[in-house]
Amino acid sequence: MANYRRRRWRESMAVRLDLNGLLAATVGADGVAPEDLATLEPALGRVRAELAARRATGGLEFADLPYHRDDVRRVIEVATAAREEFDTLVVLGIGGSALGASAICAALPGQTSGLHIVIADAIDPEAFGTLLEQLDLRRTLFNVVSKSGETAETMAQFLIVRDRLLRELGAVDYKRHLLVTSDAQQGALRQIVNDEGFRALPIPAAVGGRFSVLTTVGLFPAAAAGVDVEELLAGAASMDERSKAAATPLADPPLALGGLLWQLATSRQKTIVVLMAYCERLAATADWFCQLWAESLGKAVDLDGRTVEWGQTPVGALGTSDQHSQLQLYLEGPRDKAVVFLRLEDHGTNIDVPATYQDLASVGYLGGHSLGELLNAEQRATELALAKRGRPSATLTLPALNAFTLGQLFYLCQMATVAVGALAGIDPFGQPGVEEGKRLAWGLMGRPGFEASRAEVEAWLARKDARFVI
Amino acid sequence: MANYRRRRWRESMAVRLDLNGLLAATVGADGVAPEDLATLEPALGRVRAELAARRATGGLEFADLPYHRDDVRRVIEVATAAREEFDTLVVLGIGGSALGASAICAALPGQTSGLHIVIADAIDPEAFGTLLEQLDLRRTLFNVVSKSGETAETMAQFLIVRDRLLRELGAVDYKRHLLVTSDAQQGALRQIVNDEGFRALPIPAAVGGRFSVLTTVGLFPAAAAGVDVEELLAGAASMDERSKAAATPLADPPLALGGLLWQLATSRQKTIVVLMAYCERLAATADWFCQLWAESLGKAVDLDGRTVEWGQTPVGALGTSDQHSQLQLYLEGPRDKAVVFLRLEDHGTNIDVPATYQDLASVGYLGGHSLGELLNAEQRATELALAKRGRPSATLTLPALNAFTLGQLFYLCQMATVAVGALAGIDPFGQPGVEEGKRLAWGLMGRPGFEASRAEVEAWLARKDARFVI
């Protein structure tokens, strides 16, 4: 009976995708036309088969994370122990090592018995200095997260924190305040773990940073906060099951969403996808999505090595705030955007607007409505205003915001990203472009072996035309 | 002597624009070529004359705000009184009524004797409810900010807060916890102020929300926090003076920046401008800029009424975090972006990385450097990495972050926006596109007179094809 109720509850918590607003039937020439769908559907069928084959041979490890229940039990164990020892968890990580944890911890409240979570992804000395000043080091656990163990920002933070801990707590005690999440086999951080005997959690070798939200990287901070991480995985698994059970590719949520956005990018010049969340707690999830979409799909060459310079620029937006900031541009500016709304059916908390100033037409109508109603009315109004101007949008509705629905959303976005990669013929993994910048920064920082990079930066700075420095 | 020292200090605090990275000489085909400059310079000369003429006849009121010293004294007076009575100031406002105050208060520390400032721009019931729970109402002043006095979100917040104050503090005392900033003459909020006798500050009639950072809208919360608002205005004025004193349009900072970005938008398909701040405290300033650029320049028709659907999409980014999120796309994706870096010469706080693990090549090099050095090295490396891929960027350097440099930055961005408006032949003021959405939302909320809008939304929702709701 408990299982039956849980199944019914989960069915009621299925994330819904309304894709009508992306179609020409709704928005006219800038939408996906029936003839586009006729060619898209078989292409999506091929992508579906290809992704299934890759999964079957272990080539898409992130997709199977919802079923790695043993890893999760280990994470919960370590997190439970940490909750007994500490009050605060500071995650030292950046990019994929920060955004997933940040998304979960901002979206879900955790438990009152959970740790207070701080994601320290920046090396801004003012921000990092202020944070360090505010912490009670004796009650703080630092989770150092870097898969490669070479990330300059995270390693610099780690060295600073290690030094402070050492000085404040002594050479014996300081170690229990550090927990390293990194590749289990390689990298400088792994070597340091081995030498120093720090506690550590492994990141699966075949899962990259931006697909790591459901690994130790995202799940440990979540579990430490008291989030039900098994429910997150159950949500992800349920999206996977819906996907597999879909009768056609266009009924498969990630394939349909990815397929239509790809179609709009390639045949309707929608070079920008706006993820607009009507819920403050989902703003960090929008940031997480922006990394996923940008870094996975922004690639110079396709799988055959041809120059394509592909990509669709993701932009995070927040309703209703960005109605008063970006919407004018979305409605009247270039027709280069597809908008994806994130909408909550039930906001959890309800605040009613009291009936006041009923004689004032421009104020009185608000009385008796709740803030959640107003928020959702604004979302619908924005959706229709865009459609009336011929601007395509999709709406993802979460019945409520909880671990189960957030897990679905993560999985949906990740699989949609991989589907677009397959349609565009590019590799959604890796980030070859950013290596050059790392070398140049190493050169400027005096890392041995990168003297030529330093010289290159200096020569470039010296070459600048003084007339254009004003 | 004090004046002499101050002048020298201010000279040392001039914001520098390095525009070399936007030129073909630096980045090749995707940069502005010498022949573009040859036609751009006279066009900018005409814009300069046009803007000067508009200012002379009072048609560009925001541009003269740095010289409205009487208004500022009044703001400081009210803020000083508020600081004696309260601990916290909550700004109830959205869009232009929130972003300027948010930018200033995030960028500048204020004084320890200043009020704690919270910008409540959202109607998310969970976020707003949590905020209300945390406040000590007896020690809190609410600044209700809406020029029109009709903004649904702000009015809903106001009604909720008014009701709580009334119930907690009684019908006499509650009034002193409300301070209204709105149009001095018209709107529902002004009428309420007059009827109820709330305290109020005026917004100049001719200054719109996104150009209001240097009016009561931005300055009152800043002064309440203890920011030196006269120094903000002095910074703005100094940028204005540099602009006026420039020998040529291309030596005039806002014209040069705006002109080159416009050139790249129109002749090099740079449809996106990324403002990438290498300083956490400037992230809110990037949000402020994004509103300014999007809402001012995203317009369907030009001044002659012709359909142009113009605009350049602004994207806020944060260094180094977005190097691990967006940079891959910027480097390898479509050539549709111009990046503007915000860089601090001196970060104020200094944190050194201790020399540790010197035998590990990928870690040891960090020792002895400061976080500020690392941050600035990453910025330079990113700038050059973009240039090597032929991607244009400009760098704005603030010698330090303070009220004087922030004032310069605000003025620079605002005048650059107006300059681009003039070059593109569009009206940078007003936001005609968003009116439709407001009507639709009013309809859904049951505002009398908008029954047809409600029916329109409902008919549209009913028309959706069920096959595309999955």
Q: For residue B393, list its beta bridge partners.
A: B339
* Cβ-contact B422, B51 below 8 angstroms: yes
Two structure tokens written together for A100: 């997933």
Distance from CA of A77 to the nearest CA of B (A): 30
Are the Cβ atoms of A448 and B361 closer than 8 angstroms?
yes
Are A384 and B321 an interchain contact pair (Cβ–Cβ within 8 Å)? Answer: no
SS3 label, residue B303: coil
- The Cα of B423 is separated from the nearest Cα of chain A by a number of Å equal to 16
Partners of B377 on chain A (C-beta within 8 Å) are 441, 444-445
| Closest CA–CA distance from residue A71 to any residue of chain B (Å) | 26
Check CB contact under 8 Å for B318 and A122. Answer: yes
Same domain, A329 and A255: yes
pLDDT higher than 80, residue A434: yes
Q: Which of A188, A272, A321 sits opposite B363 (nearest CB)?
A: A188
Nearest CB to A375; choose among B16, B123, B291: B123
Q: Across the strands, what pairs with A337?
A: A272
Q: Could you tell me if A163 lies within 8 Å of chain B, comparing CB atoms?
A: yes
In a domain, B62, yes or no: no
pLDDT digits (tens, 9 = 90+) for B285-344: 999 999 999 999 999 999 999 999 999 999 999 999 999 999 999 999 999 999 999 999
Structure tokens at A389: 């101007």
Q: Looking at the structure, do residues B203 and B236 belong to the same domain, yes or no?
A: no
Q: What is the pLDDT of residues A303-323, one digit of tens each?
A: 999 999 999 999 999 999 999
Q: What is the residue-averaged pLDDT of chain A?
A: 96
Residues in chain B closer than 8 A to A375 (CB atoms):
123-125
Q: How far apart are CA B188 and CA A361, in angstroms?
A: 9
Q: A297–B389: do the CB atoms touch at under 8 Å? A: no
Maximum distance among all alpha carbons in chain A? 77
B236 with B223, same domain: the answer is no
Mutate which: A196, A363, A383, A442, vs B, most B CBs within 10 A: A363
Residues in A touching B94 (Cβ below 8 Å): 320-321, 324
B271 and A336 within 8 Å at the Cβ level: the answer is yes
Residue A466: pLDDT over 70:
yes
The residue in chain B having the minimum alpha-carbon distance to the alpha carbon of residue A209 is B324
Would you give the end-to-end CA distance of chain B in angstroms?
73
Give chain B's domain count: 2
Please report the residues numbered 95 through 114 in chain A whose beta carbons come closer than 8 angstroms to any beta carbon of chain B: 95-96, 98-99
- Contact by Cβ (8 Å): B266, B27: no
Which residues touch A223 (CB under 8 Å, ≥6 apart)? A75, A76, A78, A79, A80, A229
User: Hey, which residues 415-454 in chain A have their CB within 8 Å of chain B?
Assistant: 431-434, 436-449
Instruction: Return the pLDDT at A145.
Output: 98
- Look at the block and give the residue holding tokens 């120059």: A307
Our CA-based measurement puts residue B58 at a distance from the nearest CA of chain A, in whole angstroms, of: 26
Is residue B140 domain-shared with residue B162, that is, in the same domain? yes
- Are B423 and B47 contacting, i.e. CB atoms less than 8 angstroms apart? yes
Tokens of A176: 């229990």
Answer whether A349 sits within 8 Å of B16, measured CB to CB: no
Same domain as B323, residue B179: no
**In this complex, is the C-beta atom of A205 within 8 Å of any C-beta atom belonging to chain B?**
no
Looking at the structure, tell me whether residues A190 and A250 fall in a common domain. Answer: no
| Closest residue on chain B to A386 (Cα) | B437
How far CA B382 is from CA of B149, B320, B360, B377, B397, in Å, comes to: 44, 9, 25, 9, 15
| Domain annotation covers residue A162 | yes
B392: nearest Cα among B258, B250, B273: B273
Do A185 and A72 contact (CB within 8 A), yes or no? no
Are B47 and B97 contained in the same domain?
no
- What pLDDT does residue B110 have? 82
Q: Which residues of B touch A329 (CB under 8 A)?
A: 294-295, 297-298, 311, 313
What pLDDT sits at residue B272? 98
Separation of alpha carbons A459 and B427, rounded Å: 43
Instruction: Looking at the structure, tell me whether residues A103 and A212 fall in a common domain.
Output: yes
pLDDT of residue A1: 57
Nearest to A328 among B369, B431, B468 (CB): B431
Tell me, yes or no, whether B16 lies in a domain.
yes
**A320–B94 C-beta distance less than 8 A:** yes
A314: enclosing H helix or E strand? strand A313-318
Asked if the model's pLDDT at residue A135 lies above 90, the reply is yes
Contact residues for A233 (Cβ-Cβ < 8 A; gap 6+) = A65, A66, A67, A68, A69, A72, A214, A407
Largest separation between any pair of C-alpha atoms in chain B = 77
CB atoms A188 and B360 under 8 Å: yes
Which residues of A belong to the active site? 295, 324, 438
How much is the pLDDT for B109?
86
Would the CB atoms of B337 and A153 count as touching at under 8 Å?
A: no
Q: pTM for the full model? A: 0.98
State whether A353 and B150 contact (CB < 8 Å): no
Instruction: Identify the residue among B155, B329, B345 best suited for mutation to test binding to A, counting A beta carbons within 10 A and taking the highest.
Output: B329
- Select from B182, B211, B227 the last residue of a domain: B227
Of the residues B207, B227, B247, the one at which a domain ends: B227
Tell me which DSSP letter residue B247 carries: S
> Before A320, cis peptide (omega within 30)?
yes
Considering chain B, what percentage of its residues have pLDDT values greater than 90?
95
Q: Which DSSP category does B249 fall into?
A: G
- Whole-number Å distance between alpha carbons of B1 and B406: 25
Return d(Cα A300, Cα B401) in angstroms, integer. 37
Asked whether residue A2 carries a pLDDT value surpassing 90, the answer given is: no
**B275 near B342, Cβ under 8 Å?**
yes
Q: Does B391 touch chain A (CB under 8 A)?
A: no
CATH number of residue B23's parent domain: 3.40.50.10490
Q: Rounded to the nearest 10 degrees, how much is the dihedral formed by the CA atoms of B53, B54, B55, B56?
A: 50
Q: Compute the Cα dihedral for A161, A165, A171, A176 and give only its sign.
A: negative
Residue of A313, A263, A307 whose CA lies nearest to A290: A313
Can you read off the two tokens belonging to residue A465?
Answer: 């035309």
CA–CA distance, A90 with A106 (Å, rounded to integer) = 14
Answer whether residue A405 is part of any domain.
yes
Residues of chain A contacting residue B440, judged by C-beta atoms under 8 Å apart: 380-381, 384-385
In a domain, residue A62? The reply is no
Residue B374 contacts A, CB cutoff 8 Å = yes
What ipTM describes this predicted complex?
0.98
Q: Which of B150, B328, B371 sits opposite A123 (nearest CB)?
A: B371
- Which helix (H) or strand (E) element contains residue B375? helix B371-388
Q: Which of B151, B141, B142 is nearest to B188 (CA)?
A: B151
**Residues B165 and B247 occupy one common structural domain:** no
- Cβ separation B96–A324 shorter than 8 A: yes
Q: What sign does the dihedral B37-B41-B43-B44 (CA atoms) show?
A: positive
Domain edge (last residue) among B208, B227, B246 = B227
pLDDT attached to residue B1: 58
Inter-axis angle of helices A69-85 and A229-245, nearest 10: 160
Could you tell me which residues are beta bridge partners of residue B16?
A: B397
Give the orientation angle of helix B229-245 with respect to helix B69-85, to 10 degrees: 160
User: Is the CB of A18 less than 8 angstroms away from the CB of B464?
Assistant: yes
pLDDT of residue A232 exceeding 90: yes
Instruction: Report yes or no on B460 lying in a domain.
Output: no
Q: Is A305 on the interface with B (CB under 8 A)?
A: no
Closest CA to B308 of A384, A322, A324, A335: A335
- Show the domain range for A132: 68-227
Averaged pLDDT, A206-223: 97
Provide the annotated active-site residues of B: 295, 324, 438
Question: What is the percent of chain A where pLDDT is above 70?
Answer: 100
- B310 forms bridges with which residues in the sheet? B299
Is residue A97 within 8 Å of A151, Cβ to Cβ?
yes
Kind plus residue range of the DSSP H or E element containing A318: strand A313-318
Torsions phi, psi of A334, nearest 5?
-55, 150
Selecting from A328, A434, A470 the residue whose C-beta is nearest the C-beta of B298 gives A328
Q: What is the DSSP string of A242-302?
A: HHHH-SSGGGSHHHHHHHHHHHHHHHS---EEEEEESSGGGHHHHHHHHHHHHHHH-EEE-
A14 touches chain B (CB under 8 A): no
CA distance B77 to chain A (A): 30
H or E element in which residue A202 lies? strand A199-203
B171 and B200 both lie in a single domain: yes
Positions of chain B with pLDDT lower than 70, given as ranges: 1
Q: Does A270 touch chain B (CB under 8 A)?
A: no
Asked if residue B23 belongs to a domain, the reply is: yes
CB-defined contacts A:B, below 8 A: 459
Q: Measure CB to CB from residue A325 to each of B290, B311, B370 and give the nearest one.
A: B290
Which residues numbered 27-86 in A keep a CB inside 8 Å of some CB on B?
none
Residue B154 and residue B202 in one domain: yes
* Chain A: residue whose CA lies nearest to B348: A126
- Closest to A360 measured CA to CA, from B167, B336, B147, B194: B194
Chain B contact probe: residue of A257, A325, A456, A463 with most B CBs at under 10 A: A325
- Give contacts of A 281-300 with B, CB under 8 A: 281, 287, 290-291, 294-295, 297-300
Query: Tell me, what's the pLDDT at B313?
Result: 98
Minimum-distance CB partner of B385 among A95, A366, A437:
A437
For chain B, say whether A361 makes contact (Cβ under 8 Å).
Answer: yes
Question: Residue A434 and residue B126: Cβ atoms within 8 Å?
Answer: no
Q: Do A366 and B445 touch (CB under 8 A)?
A: yes
Examine the domain organization and report whether B272 and B341 are in the same domain.
yes
Selection from B340, B290, B103 nearest residue B214 by Cα:
B103
Tell me how crowded residue B150 is: count the other CB atoms within 10 A of its CB. 18
pLDDT at position A109: 86
Residue B220 falls within a domain, yes or no?
Answer: yes
